Amino acid sequence: MSDRTTYAKQVLTSQNIELPSWAFGNSGTRFKVFAQQGVPRDPFEKISDAAQVHRHTGTAGSVALHIPWDKVEDYAALAAHAAEQGVRIGTINSNTFQDDDYMLGSVCHPDAGVRRKATDHLLECVDIMDATGSNDLKLWFADGTNYPGQDSIADRQDRLAEVLAEVYARLGDDQRLLLEYKLFEPSFYTTDVPDWGTAYAHCLKLGPKAQVVIDTGHHAPGTNIEFIVAILLREGKLGGFDFNSRFYADDDLMVGSADPFQLFRILHELVSKDVLGPESGIAYMLDQCHNIEAKIPGQIRSVMNVQEATAKALLIDREALAAAQAAGDVLAANAVLMDAYNTDVRPLLAELRVEQGLDADPMAAYAATGYGAGIIAARKDGQAAGWGA
């Protein structure tokens, strides 16, 4: 086995890809939610399904919650259930976009009362983190405006900064605030956190416990996401990813399905700075919906897609690349990258899984368990993921 293969296996073994609880619920577009059979009826069952993905991939050891979609009476009991199932609760995602009060925004709303309500929700999310042992609070705001003149762009930034400061002050020593940006939607004229620069500026003011989240589906077409990765890494402000694929807007399709080469390029930036393991503090999460495909296999496939892109990036001959770059040999440098990208890493990953005591083929292994048929028989009237219920 070459040194690079050994190194790739080592890093792949330490990789954790966090699953979103909402990927297991019914979802759709604003046109139609197609209910599937066997869908979880509560957050406990969502965690059980996520644990099933972990059982077959060995790399999906945590589950992100979305509040209030995953509201329960007893969060410590939910965390205990996760532990029993062999996973843990990861990032807590806040939700200030599904209440009538938020029509004109939440933390940037012109009315102080609405801002208070939104802030209290964010503080409640930190209480939940305390109960579940979660370290990360993920904030995404649907705030923005639809028409020029509707509200002051600058004043909205001031309101945002004030709320963020209050939430930041509430964080425990080991807790972080991860701020996610998105170009547009649901607002169409301005969005209050539309890009990495805005998120970065707020995080910088807040302090070291505030970092930026890159959702791969949240950019204009053609945006060079790996460049953003490199910059945020360099500044120590890359907190994590919401991985998914997009063809047009925020499609939330399976990561690595639309543009596997882009995923490889992103992972190359991360591999080149050795920040794939848990000690890096970078949260690698999926943020996806499986509207027309089966959900558990959809998550297994997605995890495998990330692993494949990671393995390819790990196989890059770094010495040869550095030498070609130093020599200004454009073609040779590009060829080093393309050689790695064009390597079929599926045998390497199959071998690694067997070494880890897993089945070489997670999709086939899941199908053979009968888990899918079992949940269809056992569960009726599954829960909506959160949208269009």
Report whether 142 contacts 97 (CB < 8 A).
Answer: yes
With CB under 5 A as the contact rule, the residue among 49, 70, 136, 242 that binds Mn ion is 242
Q: What is the secondary structure of 351-363 as a DSSP string?
A: HHHHHTTS-S-HH
269, interface contact from ligand LRH, Mn ion, none, CB < 5-8 Å by kind: none
Tokens 């003149």, residue located: 149
180 touches ligand LRH (CB under 6 A): yes
Shortest Å distance, C-beta 387 to ligand LRH:
8
242 touches ligand LRH (CB under 6 A): yes
93 touches ligand LRH (CB under 6 A): yes
Cβ-based nearer residue to ligand LRH, 59 or 93: 93
121 touches ligand LRH (CB under 6 A): no
182 touches ligand LRH (CB under 6 A): yes
Question: Could you count the other beta carbons within 10 Å of the beta carbon of residue 165?
Answer: 14
With CB under 5 A as the contact rule, the residue among 287, 296, 305, 385 that binds Mn ion is 287
Cβ-based nearer residue to ligand LRH, 5 or 175: 175
Task: Write the DSSP symbol of residue 277.
Answer: S
Site string for ligand LRH, 125-144 (x = CB under 6 A): ---------------x----
Judged by CB under 5 A, the chain residues 93 through 132 that form the site for Mn ion are none
Cβ-based nearer residue to ligand LRH, 143 or 242: 242
Shortest Å distance, C-beta 64 to ligand LRH:
9
Q: What is the secondary structure of 194-238 as a DSSP string?
A: -SHHHHHHHHHHH-TTEEEEEETTSS-TT--HHHHHHHHHHTT-E
The span from the CA of 316 to the CA of 303, in Å, is 21
Cα-Cα-Cα-Cα dihedral of 310, 251, 101, 189, to 10°? 110
Q: What is the secondary structure of 231-244 as a DSSP string?
A: HHHHTT-EEEEEE-
Of 83-91, 123-131, 193-201, 208-216, the window that binds Mn ion (rule: CB under 5 A) is 208-216
Report whether 123 contacts 167 (CB < 8 A).
Answer: yes
The residue sitting closest to ligand LRH, measured at its beta carbon, is 140
Report whether 57 contacts 360 (CB < 8 A).
Answer: no
250 touches ligand LRH (CB under 6 A): yes
Beta-bridge partner residues of 137: 92, 177
Cβ-based nearer residue to ligand LRH, 54 or 182: 182
Judged by CB under 6 A, the chain residues 269 through 298 that form the site for ligand LRH are 287
Site string for Mn ion, 213-232 (x = CB under 5 A): --x-----------------
Report whether 249 contacts 185 (CB < 8 A).
Answer: yes
Q: Find, among 267, 262, 230, the residue nearest to 247 by Cα.
A: 262
Binding site for Mn ion (CB under 5 A): 215, 242, 250, 287
Residues that bind ligand LRH (CB under 6 A): 93, 140, 180, 182, 215, 242, 250, 287
